[in-house]
Amino acid sequence: MRTIKLTIAYDGTRYNGWQVQKNGNTVQAELERAIEKAAKRRSRVHAAGRTDAGVHAKGQVAHYTGSSDIPSGKIPVAVNTFLPRDIAILKAEEVSSGFHSQYDAKSKLYSYYIFNSRRRDPFRERYSWRVPYELDIPLMRREAGMLLGRQDFKCFQARDKRERTSVRDILSVGIKRKGTTVRIDIEADGFLYNMVRNITGTLVDSGRGYLPEGSVEEIIGSKDRTKAGPTAPPQGLFLMKVRY
Amino acid sequence: MRTIKLTIAYDGTRYNGWQVQKNGNTVQAELERAIEKAAKRRSRVHAAGRTDAGVHAKGQVAHYTGSSDIPSGKIPVAVNTFLPRDIAILKAEEVSSGFHSQYDAKSKLYSYYIFNSRRRDPFRERYSWRVPYELDIPLMRREAGMLLGRQDFKCFQARDKRERTSVRDILSVGIKRKGTTVRIDIEADGFLYNMVRNITGTLVDSGRGYLPEGSVEEIIGSKDRTKAGPTAPPQGLFLMKVRY
Protein backbone atom coordinates (compact mmCIF):
# COMPACT_ATOMS: atom_id res chain seq x y z
CA MET A 1 0.00 0.00 0.00
CA ARG A 2 1.25 3.46 -0.88
CA THR A 3 0.14 6.87 0.35
CA ILE A 4 -0.20 9.44 -2.44
CA LYS A 5 -0.26 13.20 -1.89
CA LEU A 6 -2.18 15.13 -4.55
CA THR A 7 -2.15 18.83 -5.41
CA ILE A 8 -5.46 19.74 -7.02
CA ALA A 9 -7.06 22.73 -8.73
CA TYR A 10 -10.77 23.15 -9.34
CA ASP A 11 -13.40 25.61 -10.41
CA GLY A 12 -15.91 25.12 -7.59
CA THR A 13 -18.89 26.73 -9.33
CA ARG A 14 -20.64 23.49 -10.24
CA TYR A 15 -19.93 21.68 -6.97
CA ASN A 16 -21.54 21.34 -3.60
CA GLY A 17 -18.15 21.85 -2.01
CA TRP A 18 -15.39 19.34 -1.38
CA GLN A 19 -16.98 16.75 0.83
CA VAL A 20 -19.08 13.81 -0.31
CA GLN A 21 -22.70 14.23 0.70
CA LYS A 22 -25.99 12.64 -0.12
CA ASN A 23 -27.29 15.40 -2.36
CA GLY A 24 -25.26 16.99 -5.08
CA ASN A 25 -22.03 16.66 -6.87
CA THR A 26 -18.82 17.19 -4.92
CA VAL A 27 -15.15 17.46 -5.81
CA GLN A 28 -14.27 14.55 -3.53
CA ALA A 29 -16.85 12.31 -5.24
CA GLU A 30 -15.49 13.19 -8.71
CA LEU A 31 -11.93 12.46 -7.59
CA GLU A 32 -12.76 9.14 -5.94
CA ARG A 33 -14.67 8.09 -9.06
CA ALA A 34 -11.77 9.04 -11.36
CA ILE A 35 -9.14 7.35 -9.17
CA GLU A 36 -11.23 4.19 -9.10
CA LYS A 37 -11.44 4.19 -12.90
CA ALA A 38 -7.70 4.77 -13.32
CA ALA A 39 -6.46 2.46 -10.51
CA LYS A 40 -9.26 -0.16 -10.61
CA ARG A 41 -9.64 0.17 -6.87
CA ARG A 42 -11.76 2.41 -4.68
CA SER A 43 -9.93 4.75 -2.25
CA ARG A 44 -11.13 7.39 0.16
CA VAL A 45 -9.56 10.79 -0.60
CA HIS A 46 -8.97 13.21 2.31
CA ALA A 47 -8.41 16.93 1.73
CA ALA A 48 -6.50 19.53 3.73
CA GLY A 49 -9.37 22.01 3.53
CA ARG A 50 -12.99 21.04 3.01
CA THR A 51 -13.88 23.96 0.75
CA ASP A 52 -17.51 25.06 0.73
CA ALA A 53 -19.99 25.06 -2.18
CA GLY A 54 -18.84 27.40 -4.96
CA VAL A 55 -15.35 27.95 -3.51
CA HIS A 56 -12.38 27.36 -5.86
CA ALA A 57 -8.93 25.87 -5.32
CA LYS A 58 -5.61 26.44 -7.04
CA GLY A 59 -3.57 24.41 -4.57
CA GLN A 60 -5.80 22.08 -2.58
CA VAL A 61 -3.86 19.13 -1.12
CA ALA A 62 -5.36 15.70 -0.57
CA HIS A 63 -4.12 12.18 0.08
CA TYR A 64 -5.26 8.61 -0.35
CA THR A 65 -3.91 5.15 0.25
CA GLY A 66 -3.93 2.72 -2.65
CA SER A 67 -2.32 -0.40 -3.98
CA SER A 68 -2.22 0.45 -7.68
CA ASP A 69 1.20 0.36 -9.30
CA ILE A 70 0.80 3.47 -11.48
CA PRO A 71 4.07 5.42 -10.97
CA SER A 72 3.20 8.58 -9.02
CA GLY A 73 4.52 10.81 -11.81
CA LYS A 74 1.91 9.33 -14.16
CA ILE A 75 -1.05 9.65 -11.80
CA PRO A 76 -2.03 13.20 -12.92
CA VAL A 77 -2.43 12.23 -16.58
CA ALA A 78 -4.00 8.84 -15.76
CA VAL A 79 -6.61 10.25 -13.37
CA ASN A 80 -7.23 13.57 -15.18
CA THR A 81 -8.48 11.54 -18.16
CA PHE A 82 -11.50 10.58 -16.04
CA LEU A 83 -12.05 14.00 -14.45
CA PRO A 84 -14.32 16.76 -15.80
CA ARG A 85 -12.53 19.77 -17.25
CA ASP A 86 -13.12 21.88 -14.15
CA ILE A 87 -11.04 19.64 -11.84
CA ALA A 88 -7.38 18.75 -12.42
CA ILE A 89 -4.68 16.96 -10.46
CA LEU A 90 -1.60 19.16 -10.84
CA LYS A 91 0.87 16.91 -9.04
CA ALA A 92 1.09 13.51 -7.32
CA GLU A 93 3.87 12.34 -5.01
CA GLU A 94 4.37 9.21 -2.97
CA VAL A 95 4.74 10.15 0.71
CA SER A 96 5.41 8.23 3.90
CA SER A 97 2.49 6.13 5.07
CA GLY A 98 1.86 8.34 8.13
CA PHE A 99 1.13 11.45 6.06
CA HIS A 100 -2.26 13.10 6.56
CA SER A 101 -3.19 16.09 4.37
CA GLN A 102 -5.38 17.70 7.00
CA TYR A 103 -3.69 16.92 10.34
CA ASP A 104 -0.15 17.52 9.07
CA ALA A 105 -0.91 20.89 7.47
CA LYS A 106 1.03 23.71 9.19
CA SER A 107 -0.92 26.47 7.48
CA LYS A 108 -3.30 27.24 4.65
CA LEU A 109 -3.36 30.30 2.42
CA TYR A 110 -6.65 31.60 1.07
CA SER A 111 -7.08 34.49 -1.37
CA TYR A 112 -10.31 36.40 -1.76
CA TYR A 113 -10.79 38.31 -5.05
CA ILE A 114 -12.90 41.46 -5.14
CA PHE A 115 -13.80 43.00 -8.51
CA ASN A 116 -14.12 46.66 -7.56
CA SER A 117 -16.19 48.07 -10.38
CA ARG A 118 -19.54 49.61 -11.12
CA ARG A 119 -19.48 47.88 -14.53
CA ARG A 120 -20.17 44.20 -14.88
CA ASP A 121 -17.85 41.66 -16.49
CA PRO A 122 -19.12 38.10 -17.08
CA PHE A 123 -15.56 36.74 -17.24
CA ARG A 124 -14.52 38.13 -13.87
CA GLU A 125 -17.70 37.78 -11.85
CA ARG A 126 -17.46 34.00 -11.95
CA TYR A 127 -14.25 34.26 -9.91
CA SER A 128 -14.76 37.33 -7.76
CA TRP A 129 -17.21 39.37 -5.74
CA ARG A 130 -18.15 42.54 -7.59
CA VAL A 131 -18.18 45.45 -5.14
CA PRO A 132 -19.37 48.68 -6.81
CA TYR A 133 -18.41 51.06 -3.96
CA GLU A 134 -15.20 53.03 -3.65
CA LEU A 135 -12.92 51.22 -1.18
CA ASP A 136 -10.40 52.89 1.13
CA ILE A 137 -7.60 50.33 0.78
CA PRO A 138 -5.13 51.93 3.27
CA LEU A 139 -7.90 51.88 5.92
CA MET A 140 -8.71 48.26 5.07
CA ARG A 141 -5.03 47.41 5.54
CA ARG A 142 -4.88 49.07 8.95
CA GLU A 143 -8.02 47.21 10.00
CA ALA A 144 -6.70 43.91 8.61
CA GLY A 145 -3.55 44.30 10.69
CA MET A 146 -5.67 43.72 13.81
CA LEU A 147 -6.36 40.18 12.62
CA LEU A 148 -2.77 39.04 13.03
CA GLY A 149 -1.74 36.61 15.72
CA ARG A 150 -3.33 33.98 17.92
CA GLN A 151 -6.81 35.18 18.85
CA ASP A 152 -10.35 33.97 19.45
CA PHE A 153 -12.13 34.56 16.12
CA LYS A 154 -15.59 33.53 17.33
CA CYS A 155 -16.98 36.73 15.74
CA PHE A 156 -16.08 35.41 12.28
CA GLN A 157 -17.45 31.90 12.78
CA ALA A 158 -20.67 30.87 11.07
CA ARG A 159 -23.31 30.70 13.77
CA ASP A 160 -24.60 27.26 12.82
CA LYS A 161 -21.14 25.62 12.96
CA ARG A 162 -19.34 25.25 16.22
CA GLU A 163 -15.90 23.73 16.65
CA ARG A 164 -14.29 22.92 19.98
CA THR A 165 -12.31 26.12 19.96
CA SER A 166 -12.53 29.25 17.84
CA VAL A 167 -8.92 30.27 18.58
CA ARG A 168 -6.77 30.42 15.44
CA ASP A 169 -3.36 31.88 14.59
CA ILE A 170 -3.37 34.24 11.59
CA LEU A 171 0.20 34.24 10.29
CA SER A 172 -0.11 36.82 7.55
CA VAL A 173 -2.63 39.15 5.99
CA GLY A 174 -2.24 41.24 2.86
CA ILE A 175 -4.46 43.46 0.71
CA LYS A 176 -3.33 44.32 -2.80
CA ARG A 177 -4.99 46.42 -5.47
CA LYS A 178 -4.18 46.02 -9.16
CA GLY A 179 -6.53 47.98 -11.38
CA THR A 180 -10.06 46.95 -10.43
CA THR A 181 -8.88 43.79 -8.62
CA VAL A 182 -8.51 43.85 -4.85
CA ARG A 183 -7.04 40.66 -3.42
CA ILE A 184 -7.14 39.76 0.26
CA ASP A 185 -4.61 37.07 1.28
CA ILE A 186 -4.93 35.35 4.64
CA GLU A 187 -2.65 32.60 5.91
CA ALA A 188 -3.49 30.84 9.17
CA ASP A 189 -2.83 27.60 11.00
CA GLY A 190 -6.50 26.80 10.48
CA PHE A 191 -9.80 28.41 9.60
CA LEU A 192 -13.27 28.40 11.09
CA TYR A 193 -16.26 27.72 8.88
CA ASN A 194 -16.84 30.79 6.62
CA MET A 195 -14.02 32.66 8.40
CA VAL A 196 -12.35 34.19 5.32
CA ARG A 197 -15.68 35.17 3.80
CA ASN A 198 -16.82 36.78 7.05
CA ILE A 199 -13.53 38.65 7.42
CA THR A 200 -13.83 39.85 3.80
CA GLY A 201 -17.38 41.07 4.32
CA THR A 202 -16.23 42.99 7.40
CA LEU A 203 -13.19 44.53 5.68
CA VAL A 204 -15.38 45.67 2.76
CA ASP A 205 -17.77 47.27 5.25
CA SER A 206 -14.75 49.15 6.64
CA GLY A 207 -13.43 50.10 3.21
CA ARG A 208 -16.74 51.53 2.03
CA GLY A 209 -17.20 53.62 5.17
CA TYR A 210 -19.87 51.58 6.95
CA LEU A 211 -17.66 50.83 9.95
CA PRO A 212 -15.47 53.43 11.68
CA GLU A 213 -11.73 52.87 12.04
CA GLY A 214 -11.00 50.55 14.96
CA SER A 215 -14.08 48.41 14.36
CA VAL A 216 -12.23 45.19 13.53
CA GLU A 217 -10.39 45.20 16.85
CA GLU A 218 -13.68 45.85 18.64
CA ILE A 219 -15.55 43.16 16.71
CA ILE A 220 -12.89 40.54 17.54
CA GLY A 221 -13.09 41.56 21.21
CA SER A 222 -16.88 41.24 21.21
CA LYS A 223 -16.77 37.57 20.08
CA ASP A 224 -20.17 38.37 18.55
CA ARG A 225 -20.92 37.28 14.97
CA THR A 226 -23.72 39.84 14.66
CA LYS A 227 -21.25 42.70 15.11
CA ALA A 228 -19.17 41.64 12.08
CA GLY A 229 -20.00 42.30 8.43
CA PRO A 230 -21.87 40.08 5.97
CA THR A 231 -20.54 36.81 4.59
CA ALA A 232 -18.88 37.52 1.24
CA PRO A 233 -20.12 35.23 -1.57
CA PRO A 234 -18.25 31.98 -2.28
CA GLN A 235 -17.14 32.62 -5.86
CA GLY A 236 -14.38 35.07 -4.85
CA LEU A 237 -12.63 32.58 -2.56
CA PHE A 238 -9.64 30.43 -3.59
CA LEU A 239 -7.65 27.92 -1.52
CA MET A 240 -4.21 28.81 -2.85
CA LYS A 241 -1.70 26.75 -0.90
CA VAL A 242 -1.29 24.28 1.95
CA ARG A 243 2.05 24.26 3.79
CA TYR A 244 3.49 21.26 5.64
CA MET B 1 -39.73 54.55 -31.21
CA ARG B 2 -35.99 54.56 -30.63
CA THR B 3 -33.29 52.25 -31.96
CA ILE B 4 -30.78 51.18 -29.30
CA LYS B 5 -27.33 49.77 -30.06
CA LEU B 6 -25.97 47.46 -27.35
CA THR B 7 -22.43 46.25 -26.71
CA ILE B 8 -22.59 42.93 -24.89
CA ALA B 9 -20.21 40.45 -23.24
CA TYR B 10 -21.06 36.88 -22.35
CA ASP B 11 -19.59 33.62 -21.21
CA GLY B 12 -21.14 31.29 -23.79
CA THR B 13 -20.52 28.03 -21.91
CA ARG B 14 -24.09 27.58 -20.67
CA TYR B 15 -25.79 28.69 -23.89
CA ASN B 16 -26.92 27.11 -27.10
CA GLY B 17 -25.42 30.02 -28.97
CA TRP B 18 -26.87 33.45 -29.67
CA GLN B 19 -30.00 32.75 -31.61
CA VAL B 20 -33.39 31.89 -30.13
CA GLN B 21 -34.32 28.30 -30.86
CA LYS B 22 -36.90 25.84 -29.67
CA ASN B 23 -34.58 23.76 -27.50
CA GLY B 24 -32.18 25.23 -25.05
CA ASN B 25 -31.21 28.48 -23.54
CA THR B 26 -29.77 31.20 -25.77
CA VAL B 27 -28.18 34.59 -25.19
CA GLN B 28 -30.78 36.30 -27.36
CA ALA B 29 -33.63 34.77 -25.32
CA GLU B 30 -32.05 35.93 -22.03
CA LEU B 31 -31.59 39.46 -23.38
CA GLU B 32 -35.10 39.76 -24.76
CA ARG B 33 -36.50 38.50 -21.46
CA ALA B 34 -34.42 41.01 -19.46
CA ILE B 35 -35.26 43.95 -21.74
CA GLU B 36 -38.96 43.09 -21.48
CA LYS B 37 -38.73 43.11 -17.68
CA ALA B 38 -36.85 46.44 -17.60
CA ALA B 39 -38.79 48.24 -20.35
CA LYS B 40 -42.20 46.56 -19.88
CA ARG B 41 -42.32 45.89 -23.61
CA ARG B 42 -41.14 42.98 -25.74
CA SER B 43 -38.53 43.75 -28.43
CA ARG B 44 -36.68 41.55 -30.88
CA VAL B 45 -32.89 41.86 -30.45
CA HIS B 46 -30.66 41.40 -33.54
CA ALA B 47 -26.95 40.66 -33.22
CA ALA B 48 -24.01 41.42 -35.50
CA GLY B 49 -22.67 37.88 -35.20
CA ARG B 50 -24.78 34.85 -34.35
CA THR B 51 -22.20 33.11 -32.20
CA ASP B 52 -22.43 29.34 -31.94
CA ALA B 53 -23.04 27.17 -28.85
CA GLY B 54 -20.24 27.58 -26.31
CA VAL B 55 -18.63 30.58 -28.04
CA HIS B 56 -17.96 33.69 -25.93
CA ALA B 57 -18.21 37.42 -26.66
CA LYS B 58 -16.38 40.42 -25.24
CA GLY B 59 -17.78 42.90 -27.75
CA GLN B 60 -20.89 41.53 -29.42
CA VAL B 61 -23.08 44.28 -30.86
CA ALA B 62 -26.86 44.05 -31.09
CA HIS B 63 -29.77 46.41 -31.64
CA TYR B 64 -33.46 46.63 -30.92
CA THR B 65 -36.27 49.07 -31.42
CA GLY B 66 -38.30 50.06 -28.40
CA SER B 67 -40.57 52.73 -27.02
CA SER B 68 -39.43 52.77 -23.42
CA ASP B 69 -38.21 56.07 -22.05
CA ILE B 70 -35.27 54.73 -20.03
CA PRO B 71 -32.34 57.07 -20.92
CA SER B 72 -29.87 55.03 -22.98
CA GLY B 73 -27.09 55.62 -20.43
CA LYS B 74 -29.19 53.86 -17.79
CA ILE B 75 -30.10 50.85 -19.92
CA PRO B 76 -27.04 48.74 -18.93
CA VAL B 77 -27.79 48.93 -15.20
CA ALA B 78 -31.57 48.60 -15.70
CA VAL B 79 -31.34 45.53 -17.94
CA ASN B 80 -28.32 43.89 -16.29
CA THR B 81 -30.39 43.60 -13.11
CA PHE B 82 -32.50 41.00 -14.92
CA LEU B 83 -29.64 39.18 -16.63
CA PRO B 84 -27.76 36.16 -15.28
CA ARG B 85 -24.19 36.86 -14.15
CA ASP B 86 -22.68 35.38 -17.33
CA ILE B 87 -24.23 37.99 -19.63
CA ALA B 88 -23.75 41.76 -19.32
CA ILE B 89 -24.64 44.81 -21.37
CA LEU B 90 -21.50 46.94 -21.37
CA LYS B 91 -22.88 49.93 -23.23
CA ALA B 92 -26.12 51.23 -24.76
CA GLU B 93 -26.45 54.11 -27.23
CA GLU B 94 -29.36 55.57 -29.12
CA VAL B 95 -28.65 55.40 -32.87
CA SER B 96 -30.48 56.52 -36.01
CA SER B 97 -33.55 54.46 -36.83
CA GLY B 98 -31.96 52.91 -39.94
CA PHE B 99 -29.13 51.24 -37.99
CA HIS B 100 -28.79 47.47 -38.29
CA SER B 101 -26.15 45.68 -36.20
CA GLN B 102 -25.61 42.91 -38.76
CA TYR B 103 -26.02 44.59 -42.17
CA ASP B 104 -24.12 47.77 -41.23
CA ALA B 105 -21.10 45.95 -39.75
CA LYS B 106 -17.95 46.67 -41.78
CA SER B 107 -15.90 43.97 -40.08
CA LYS B 108 -15.77 41.65 -37.09
CA LEU B 109 -12.75 40.65 -35.06
CA TYR B 110 -12.58 37.17 -33.51
CA SER B 111 -9.83 35.90 -31.23
CA TYR B 112 -9.14 32.22 -30.67
CA TYR B 113 -7.25 31.28 -27.49
CA ILE B 114 -5.03 28.21 -27.40
CA PHE B 115 -3.63 27.02 -24.05
CA ASN B 116 -0.41 25.39 -25.17
CA SER B 117 0.43 23.11 -22.28
CA ARG B 118 0.78 19.49 -21.37
CA ARG B 119 -0.54 20.35 -17.89
CA ARG B 120 -4.20 20.99 -17.28
CA ASP B 121 -5.65 24.15 -15.71
CA PRO B 122 -9.35 24.23 -14.82
CA PHE B 123 -9.39 28.05 -14.87
CA ARG B 124 -8.01 28.35 -18.38
CA GLU B 125 -9.61 25.37 -20.12
CA ARG B 126 -13.04 26.93 -19.84
CA TYR B 127 -11.85 29.74 -22.13
CA SER B 128 -9.33 28.07 -24.40
CA TRP B 129 -8.43 24.94 -26.32
CA ARG B 130 -5.64 23.06 -24.59
CA VAL B 131 -3.12 21.88 -27.18
CA PRO B 132 -0.37 19.72 -25.61
CA TYR B 133 1.94 19.62 -28.68
CA GLU B 134 4.85 21.94 -29.35
CA LEU B 135 3.77 24.57 -31.87
CA ASP B 136 6.00 26.21 -34.48
CA ILE B 137 4.62 29.75 -34.22
CA PRO B 138 6.76 31.34 -36.98
CA LEU B 139 5.55 28.64 -39.39
CA MET B 140 1.94 29.20 -38.28
CA ARG B 141 2.39 32.92 -39.00
CA ARG B 142 3.71 32.27 -42.51
CA GLU B 143 0.81 29.94 -43.20
CA ALA B 144 -1.71 32.41 -41.73
CA GLY B 145 -0.41 35.09 -44.08
CA MET B 146 -1.93 33.15 -46.98
CA LEU B 147 -5.39 33.82 -45.52
CA LEU B 148 -5.24 37.55 -46.16
CA GLY B 149 -7.37 39.21 -48.79
CA ARG B 150 -10.58 38.53 -50.69
CA GLN B 151 -10.73 34.80 -51.41
CA ASP B 152 -13.12 31.90 -51.65
CA PHE B 153 -12.93 30.21 -48.24
CA LYS B 154 -15.18 27.26 -49.11
CA CYS B 155 -12.55 24.92 -47.60
CA PHE B 156 -13.19 26.43 -44.14
CA GLN B 157 -16.98 26.35 -44.32
CA ALA B 158 -18.93 23.79 -42.31
CA ARG B 159 -20.23 21.23 -44.81
CA ASP B 160 -23.81 21.29 -43.52
CA LYS B 161 -24.17 25.08 -43.85
CA ARG B 162 -24.13 26.73 -47.23
CA GLU B 163 -24.41 30.43 -47.82
CA ARG B 164 -24.89 32.05 -51.22
CA THR B 165 -21.19 32.79 -51.56
CA SER B 166 -18.16 31.60 -49.62
CA VAL B 167 -16.03 34.58 -50.69
CA ARG B 168 -14.88 36.71 -47.75
CA ASP B 169 -12.28 39.41 -47.25
CA ILE B 170 -9.83 38.74 -44.41
CA LEU B 171 -8.47 42.15 -43.39
CA SER B 172 -5.96 41.10 -40.78
CA VAL B 173 -4.53 38.02 -39.16
CA GLY B 174 -2.20 37.82 -36.19
CA ILE B 175 -0.71 35.09 -34.01
CA LYS B 176 0.76 36.03 -30.66
CA ARG B 177 2.36 33.89 -27.99
CA LYS B 178 2.56 35.00 -24.35
CA GLY B 179 3.77 32.23 -22.06
CA THR B 180 1.51 29.25 -22.66
CA THR B 181 -1.18 31.35 -24.37
CA VAL B 182 -1.30 31.46 -28.17
CA ARG B 183 -3.89 33.88 -29.53
CA ILE B 184 -5.05 33.91 -33.15
CA ASP B 185 -6.79 37.16 -34.20
CA ILE B 186 -8.78 37.28 -37.43
CA GLU B 187 -10.65 40.30 -38.73
CA ALA B 188 -12.84 39.95 -41.80
CA ASP B 189 -15.81 41.61 -43.48
CA GLY B 190 -17.79 38.50 -42.63
CA PHE B 191 -17.34 34.89 -41.57
CA LEU B 192 -18.69 31.59 -42.78
CA TYR B 193 -20.17 29.14 -40.31
CA ASN B 194 -17.32 27.63 -38.18
CA MET B 195 -14.73 29.51 -40.27
CA VAL B 196 -12.48 30.72 -37.44
CA ARG B 197 -12.60 27.32 -35.71
CA ASN B 198 -11.74 25.52 -38.96
CA ILE B 199 -8.87 27.93 -39.69
CA THR B 200 -7.57 27.43 -36.14
CA GLY B 201 -7.70 23.63 -36.43
CA THR B 202 -5.76 23.88 -39.70
CA LEU B 203 -3.12 26.28 -38.32
CA VAL B 204 -2.60 23.99 -35.30
CA ASP B 205 -2.11 21.04 -37.68
CA SER B 206 0.57 23.14 -39.41
CA GLY B 207 2.20 24.24 -36.16
CA ARG B 208 2.48 20.69 -34.80
CA GLY B 209 4.01 19.39 -38.01
CA TYR B 210 1.04 17.48 -39.46
CA LEU B 211 0.87 19.66 -42.58
CA PRO B 212 3.93 20.71 -44.62
CA GLU B 213 4.64 24.38 -45.26
CA GLY B 214 2.49 25.72 -48.08
CA SER B 215 -0.52 23.62 -47.11
CA VAL B 216 -2.82 26.53 -46.25
CA GLU B 217 -2.44 28.05 -49.71
CA GLU B 218 -3.12 24.66 -51.27
CA ILE B 219 -6.13 23.97 -49.03
CA ILE B 220 -7.70 27.33 -49.92
CA GLY B 221 -7.14 26.59 -53.62
CA SER B 222 -8.74 23.14 -53.30
CA LYS B 223 -12.05 24.60 -51.98
CA ASP B 224 -12.35 21.22 -50.23
CA ARG B 225 -13.33 21.09 -46.55
CA THR B 226 -11.90 17.58 -46.16
CA LYS B 227 -8.39 18.89 -46.97
CA ALA B 228 -8.42 21.37 -44.06
CA GLY B 229 -7.79 20.55 -40.39
CA PRO B 230 -10.33 19.71 -37.67
CA THR B 231 -12.82 22.18 -36.21
CA ALA B 232 -11.30 23.67 -33.05
CA PRO B 233 -13.64 23.44 -30.02
CA PRO B 234 -15.98 26.38 -29.29
CA GLN B 235 -14.70 27.39 -25.84
CA GLY B 236 -11.53 29.05 -27.23
CA LEU B 237 -13.44 31.45 -29.48
CA PHE B 238 -14.32 35.04 -28.58
CA LEU B 239 -16.15 37.66 -30.64
CA MET B 240 -14.03 40.67 -29.66
CA LYS B 241 -15.22 43.62 -31.69
CA VAL B 242 -17.61 44.73 -34.42
CA ARG B 243 -16.65 47.74 -36.50
CA TYR B 244 -19.11 50.07 -38.31
**Which residues are A186's β-sheet partners?**
A110, A173
Tell me whether residue A193 is in a domain. Answer: yes
Task: Assign B100 a pLDDT band (cuts: 50, 70, 90).
Answer: very high
Question: Is residue B12 domain-resident?
Answer: yes
If one counts the domains in chain A, the total is: 2
- What percentage of chain B has pLDDT greater than the value 90? 90
Q: Which string of DSSP letters, residue by residue, matches A60-108?
A: EEEEEEE-----GGGHHHHHHTTS-TTEEEEEEEEE-TT--TTTT--EE
In this prediction, what percent of chain B has a pLDDT beyond 70?
Answer: 99
If you average pLDDT over residues A35-47, what whole number do you get? Answer: 93
Q: What average pLDDT score do residues B76-91 get? A: 96
CATH number at residue B17: 3.30.70.580
Reply yes or no on whether the pLDDT at A194 is more than 90.
yes
CB burial of B43-81 (b: ≥16 within 10 Å; e: otherwise) equals bebbbbbbbbebbbbbbbbbbbebebebeeeebbbbbbe
Min Cα distance B14 → chain A (Å) is 12
> A78 and A111: one domain?
no
> Domain ends where: A95, A127, A157?
A95
Residue A230, pLDDT score: 95
Q: Is residue B202 part of a domain?
A: yes
Quick check: B88 and A56 CB within 8 A?
A: no
Residue B1 has pLDDT above 90, yes or no: no
Lowest mean pLDDT among A18-27, A193-202, B3-12, B150-159: A18-27
Q: Tell me the C-alpha distance between B1 and B95, whole Å.
A: 11
Contact A11 B126 (CB under 8 A): yes
Identify whether residues B137 and B58 lie together within a single domain: no
Q: Is B193 on the interface with A (CB under 8 A)?
A: no
Q: How far is A46 from A42, CA to CA, in rounded Å?
A: 13
Surface of B (10-39) touching A: CB under 8 A: 10-11
For the beta carbon of residue A137, count every other beta carbon within 10 angstroms: 15
Nearest Cα residue in chain A from B74 = A119
Closest-CA distance of chain A to residue B73, Å: 12
CA distance A202 to A222: 14
pTM > 0.80? yes
Section B159-173 average pLDDT: 87
Q: Determine the Cα–Cα distance for residues A164 and A167; give it in Å rounded to an integer.
A: 9
| Distance from the B107 Cα atom to the nearest Cα atom in chain A, whole angstroms | 24
Do B112 and B230 share a domain, yes or no?
yes
- In chain B, the residue whose alpha carbon lies closest to the alpha carbon of A132 is B77
Which residues sit opposite B108 in a β-bridge? B188, B242
Model confidence pLDDT, tens digit, residues A134-185: 999 999 999 999 999 999 999 999 877 677 899 999 999 999 999 999 999 9
Percent of chain A with pLDDT over 70: 99
For the cut 80, the answer to whether the pLDDT of residue B191 exceeds it is yes
Q: Are residues B67 and B149 in the same domain?
A: no
Question: How many whole angstroms separate alpha carbon A46 and alpha carbon A37?
Answer: 18
Dihedral angle at the C-alpha atoms of B191, B193, B195, B200, nearest 10 degrees?
A: 140
Task: Please check whether residue A196 is in contact with residue A233, taking contact to mean a CB–CB distance below 8 angstroms.
Answer: no
Which CATH number covers residue B211? 3.30.70.660
Count how many Cα atoms sit within 13 Å of the Cα of residue B185 in the half-sphere of its side chain: 12
Question: Is there a domain that residue A69 lies in?
Answer: yes
Same domain, A62 and A172: no
Which of A73, A95, A117 delimits the end of a domain?
A: A95
Does B58 contact A85 at a Cβ distance shorter than 8 Å? no
The answer on B191 and B171 residing in a single domain is yes
Is residue A102 in some structural domain?
no
Cβ-Cβ contacts under 8 Å between A and B: the total is 54
**Are residues B68 and B19 part of one domain?**
yes
Nearest CA in chain A to B81: A120
Assess if residue B101 is contained within a domain: no
CB distance B120–A90 less than 8 Å?
Answer: yes
Q: Are residues B91 and B111 in the same domain?
A: no
Q: From the CA of B187, how many Å to the nearest CA of chain A?
A: 22
State yes or no: pLDDT of A241 exceeds 90: yes
B62 and B84 together in one domain: yes
Does B102 map to a domain? no
Residue A67 has pLDDT above 90, yes or no: no
User: Domain boundary at A72, A95, A118, which?
Assistant: A95
Q: What integer pLDDT is reported at residue A109 of this predicted model?
A: 98
In a domain, B199, yes or no: yes
CB atoms B122 and A80 under 8 Å: no
Whether chain B has a CB inside 8 Å of the CB on A243: the answer is no
* B20 in the same domain as B86: yes
Report the candidate in A9, A17, A235 with the shortest Cα–Cα distance to residue A124.
A235
Residues B73 and B132 in one domain: no
Chain B residue numbers touching A58 (CB-CB < 8 A) = 123
Question: DSSP label at A134?
Answer: -
> pLDDT at position B45, please?
96
What value does the mean pLDDT take over residues B144-157? 96
Domain that holds residue A38: 2-95
Same domain, A66 and A156: no
**Pairwise CB contact (< 8 Å): B87 & A11:** no
pLDDT for position A147 = 97
- Within 81-140 of A, beta carbons closer than 8 Å to B belong to 85-88, 90, 119-123, 125-127
* The predicted structure's pLDDT at residue A186: 98
Marked catalytic residue, from B52, B136, B160, B189: B52
Q: Output the CA–CA distances (angstroms, integers) from residue B59 to A99, A111, B95, in the order listed.
A: 50, 30, 17
Distance CA B76, CA B79 (A): 5
**CA B111 to CA B8: how far, in whole Å?**
16
What is the reported pLDDT for A126?
95
Chain B positions in Cβ-Cβ contact with residue A120 (cut-off 8 Å)? 76, 80, 85, 88, 90
Q: Does B80 touch chain A (CB under 8 A)?
A: yes
